[in-house]
Amino acid sequence: MRYQPVMGLEIHCELLTDSKVFCSCQNEFGGSENTRVCPRCSGMPGTLPLLNKGAVKLAAKAGFATNCTVHNYSAFDRKNYFYPDLPKAYQITQFESPICTDGYIDVVGGKRIRINRIHIEEDAGKLVHDDYEGISLADYNRCGVPLIEIVTEPDFRTVEEVQDFVVQIAQRMQYSGVCDARMEQGSLRVDVNISLMPYGSDEFGTRAEIKNLNSVKSIGRAIEYEIQRQSEILDNGGEVVQETRRYNENHDDTKALRSKEEAHDYRYFPEPDIPPVLFTDEEIEEIRKEMPELPHKRFERYTEEYKIPAEDAKLIIAQKAFSDFYDEAVSAVPEYKMISNLMLGEVSHQLNETGMSIDEVRFSPADVAKTAEMAAKGVISKGSAKDMIVIMFEKGGAPEDIAKENGFIMDNDTSGLDDIIDGVLAAQADVVEKYKNGNEKLFGFIMGQVIKAAGKGANPALIKEALTAKLK
Ligand SMILES: [Zn+2]
């Protein structure tokens, strides 16, 4: 390809407050249409907004989670436009003086992506289109839901950088309690600005904006499509038009929504009904102190201190609750790798099978830790450890009891083992012959026969040792 893609992002995150940003309506996803509205958020004339302090605090936390400066002074502005999902005909946002600026996140390949700003604003409602009746209906439940918008510089050059950034933002917002980052429910939505320039050039081309992408996969596909589309235009000597486009998952393409000629003049002006937000340095410091350990710091701890492979560490930190569970387990028993293996293996498998989340399971982090400890000490085999997890999923119970009741406690007494092995070797004389003639793969089969003969609770490690000695 002859062109270098250049991308920037605008990410909207719905804040995890109890109530909306300028009224006391419940802030929760769902609900019957127009049941979570009041005169304020439905834009009745004469009503006044009252700023939600919790929303401001979460916006500051988003700033700390992304290395931004959190400002002592920020203020609100009105962005004027008419659309049926916005009953006031203006959106309250922060234009001139956003709460956070000048942050960054390092993405794959060690590249630093600069964050221009994070500002607070209110969400709009939703239009529900009924194609059958040929009508559109307005649902105002989402009006006034608190949002932050994270705006990056156009620093992205590859799809991988964009996707890694979005995953990191989602995780950091989740860890900080700012946003649940459920992209499929629209609580985190991504707009991608994309333009192409010839390799070697440093002059950006004309950009198109793809709105409201709601999965990491869609982001990748929409960018790939847009690179293709713009390349073809440029190859044919045409000009890319500055416009807003929508990605359609079913068709896997992007379609123009509106061009620059139709772009709004938002006529921003300071919001007269909300005083500026003022923080003292001490207040900012108080909020900073509440920040939890962020996912990239956990990743470092897992890989550097605990020596967990990077791929595994990535999987553990992906969900905060899962990572918290792991942390609690290893703080009880420092069997880092064994606990990681159990959690990414049988625990994850069972969670996927049952559709449960880690908060809902019948066992505690201490139970997983105990199981790992028993396996590490050779009290039970690693295979039995997995079986124990399955049983704890189904019925719960103390690991020691489960191990006893199910005969998982290994017999580490090797006195009877010689006779058992001799018996198997005699019974499988022809297999043993082949093994001795060089077919080494048969070791596993012979080993299996001995374990079977030795019965439940036999210690595979000891059997392997004894069998290897015998077969020499
Ligand atoms: Zn309301």
Residue pLDDT, tens place only, 10-41: 999 999 999 999 999 999 887 899 999 999 99
Tell whether 290 is covered by a domain.
Answer: no
Q: How many CB atoms lie within 10 A of CB 424?
A: 22
**Of 395, 421, 405, 398, the residue nearest 456 (C-alpha):** 405
Together in a domain, 161 and 94? yes
| Cα(165) to centroid(ligand 1), Å | 33
Name the domain boundary from 405, 440, 463: 405
Domain membership of residue 342 as a residue range:
295-405
* Residue 8 to residue 191: CA distance in whole angstroms: 9
| Cα(46) to centroid(ligand 1), Å | 14
Residue pLDDT, tens place only, 179-204: 999 998 889 999 999 999 988 888 89
| Cα(62) to centroid(ligand 1), Å | 24
DSSP 240: P
Together in a domain, 228 and 360? no
| Cα(25) to centroid(ligand 1), Å | 4
| Cα(126) to centroid(ligand 1), Å | 15
Together in a domain, 183 and 318? no
Mean pLDDT of 395-423: 84
Give Cβ neighbours of residue 74 (< 8 Å, ≥ 6 apart): 94, 97, 98, 99, 119, 120, 276, 277
| Cα(94) to centroid(ligand 1), Å | 20
Together in a domain, 108 and 219? yes
Together in a domain, 377 and 277? no
Mean pLDDT of 208-225: 92
| Cα(33) to centroid(ligand 1), Å | 13
Mean pLDDT of 435-453: 88
| Cα(24) to centroid(ligand 1), Å | 6
Together in a domain, 254 and 148? yes
Q: What total of structural domains would you count in the chain?
A: 3
DSSP 270: E
> Can you give the CATH number for the domain in which 467 is found?
1.10.10
**Of 237, 227, 225, the residue nearest 207 (C-alpha):** 227
Query: How far is the CA of 25 from the CAs of 150, 242, 303, in angstroms?
Result: 25, 38, 44
Residues 17, 144 contacting (CB under 8 angstroms): no
| pLDDT tops 70 at residue 59 | yes
Tell whether 411 is covered by a domain.
Answer: no
**Of 401, 382, 377, the residue nearest 391 (C-alpha):** 401
Tokens at 470, concatenated: 């015998």
| Cα(124) to centroid(ligand 1), Å | 12
HSE at residue 319, side-chain half, CA atoms within 13 A, is 12
Name the domain boundary from 405, 436, 455: 405
Amino acid at position 418, single letter? D
Residues 149, 12 contacting (CB under 8 angstroms): yes
Tell whether 288 is covered by a domain.
Answer: no
Query: Which residues surround the ion ligand 1 when the cut-off is CB under 5 Å?
Result: 23, 25, 38, 40-41
Of 86-90, 106-110, 467-471, which gets the smallest average pLDDT? 467-471
Together in a domain, 267 and 356? no
Tell whether 410 is covered by a domain.
Answer: no
Q: Edge-to-edge, what's the strand order for the sheet holding 77-80? A: 90-93, 77-80, 269-270
* Residue 5 to residue 11: CA distance in whole angstroms: 19
| Cα(454) to centroid(ligand 1), Å | 70
| Cα(272) to centroid(ligand 1), Å | 19
The reported pLDDT for the residue numbered 241 is: 87
**Of 213, 220, 228, 214, the residue nearest 158 (C-alpha):** 220
Q: Would you place residue 465 in the very low, low, confident or very high pLDDT band (cuts 50, 70, 90)? A: confident
Together in a domain, 256 and 327? no
| Cα(117) to centroid(ligand 1), Å | 27
Q: Three-class SS of residue 393?
A: helix
The reported pLDDT for the residue numbered 148 is: 98
The reported pLDDT for the residue numbered 1 is: 65
Q: How many CB atoms lie within 10 A of CB 3?
A: 17
Tokens at 162, concatenated: 């964009």
| Cα(58) to centroid(ligand 1), Å | 20
| Cα(286) to centroid(ligand 1), Å | 29
Tell whether 349 is covered by a domain.
Answer: yes
Give the gyration radius of the chain's Cα atoms: 30
Together in a domain, 350 and 466? no
| Cα(26) to centroid(ligand 1), Å | 8
| Cα(95) to centroid(ligand 1), Å | 23
| Cα(144) to centroid(ligand 1), Å | 7
Tell whether 289 is covered by a domain.
Answer: no
| Cα(150) to centroid(ligand 1), Å | 25
Tokens at 333, concatenated: 């028993």
Residues 294, 176 contacting (CB under 8 angstroms): yes
Name the domain boundary from 405, 433, 463: 405
Residues 451, 426 contacting (CB under 8 angstroms): no
Together in a domain, 240 and 99? yes
| Cα(263) to centroid(ligand 1), Å | 29
The reported pLDDT for the residue numbered 248 is: 83
Residues 335, 376 contacting (CB under 8 angstroms): yes
Tell whether 249 is covered by a domain.
Answer: yes
Q: Would you place residue 82 in the very low, low, confident or very high pLDDT band (cuts 50, 70, 90)? A: confident
More confident call, 94 vs 242: 94
Tell whether 105 is covered by a domain.
Answer: yes
Residues 194, 226 contacting (CB under 8 angstroms): yes
| Cα(188) to centroid(ligand 1), Å | 21
Partners of 194 in the β-ladder:
7, 208
Q: Three-class SS of residue 383?
A: helix
Partners of 208 in the β-ladder:
194, 243
The predicted model scores a pTM of 0.84
Together in a domain, 153 and 7? yes
Together in a domain, 62 and 140? yes
Query: How far is the CA of 418 from the CAs of 51, 125, 402, 467, in angstroms?
Result: 78, 76, 29, 9
Q: Three-class SS of residue 69?
A: strand
| Cα(140) to centroid(ligand 1), Å | 9
